[in-house]
């Protein structure tokens, strides 16, 4: 049981380049999330998904797109990277059951540097 995994671990992009970050979970969780973490800003929600084929905007969605074609995968895309998108990106997943506590399990993070 690998939990939540993220690919790649680290990437350097030039301004204007595009890339996709992959998040995979093997816990059969319905909900998945993408966060970015910047110094002094805490964790901020970019996009999330409450199930296969569904996505929704979080707090800071501009410049990012997501897709959830399969339940276990949640992709975060940057179409035209900007230096302001230099950050550490965390993926998380969670389960929800009525009356039972739920939490979010985090992946190890992807460090992205945009030059």
Least distance CB 23 / other proteins (angstroms): 12
CB 85 within 8 A of CB 18: no
Report the C-alpha gap between 111 and 72 in whole angstroms: 22
Residue 83 or 108: the one with the smaller Cβ distance to other proteins is 108
Enter the DSSP assignment of 84.
Answer: G
Residue 22 or 50: the one with the smaller Cβ distance to other proteins is 50
Span 20-49, contacts to other proteins by CB under 8 A: 31, 33, 35, 40-45, 48
Residue 22 or 43: the one with the smaller Cβ distance to other proteins is 43
Residue 5 as a binder of other proteins (CB under 8 A): the answer is no
Stretch that binds other proteins, among 12-20, 52-60, 65-73, 79-87 (CB under 8 A): 52-60
Q: What is the 3-state secondary structure (H, E, C) of 70-83?
A: CCCEEEEEECCCCH
Residue 1 as a binder of other proteins (CB under 8 A): the answer is no
Exposure of 105 by Cβ count < 10 A (0-12 exposed, 13-18 middle, 19+ buried)? middle
């Amino acid at each position: 049981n690998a939990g939540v995994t993220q690919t790649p671990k680290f990437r350097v992009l030039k301004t204007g380049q595009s890339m996709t970050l992959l998040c995979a979970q093997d816990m059969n969780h319905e909900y998945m999330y993408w966060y970015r973490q910047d110094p002094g800003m805490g964790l901020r929600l970019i996009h999330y998904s409450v199930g296969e084929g569904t996505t929704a905007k979080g707090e800071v969605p501009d410049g990012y797109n997501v897709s959830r074609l399969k339940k276990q995968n949640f992709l975060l895309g940057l179409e035209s990277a900007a230096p302001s998108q230099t950050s550490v990106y965390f993926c998380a997943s969670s389960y929800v059951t009525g009356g039972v506590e739920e939490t979010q399990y985090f992946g190890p993070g992807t460090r992205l540097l945009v030059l």
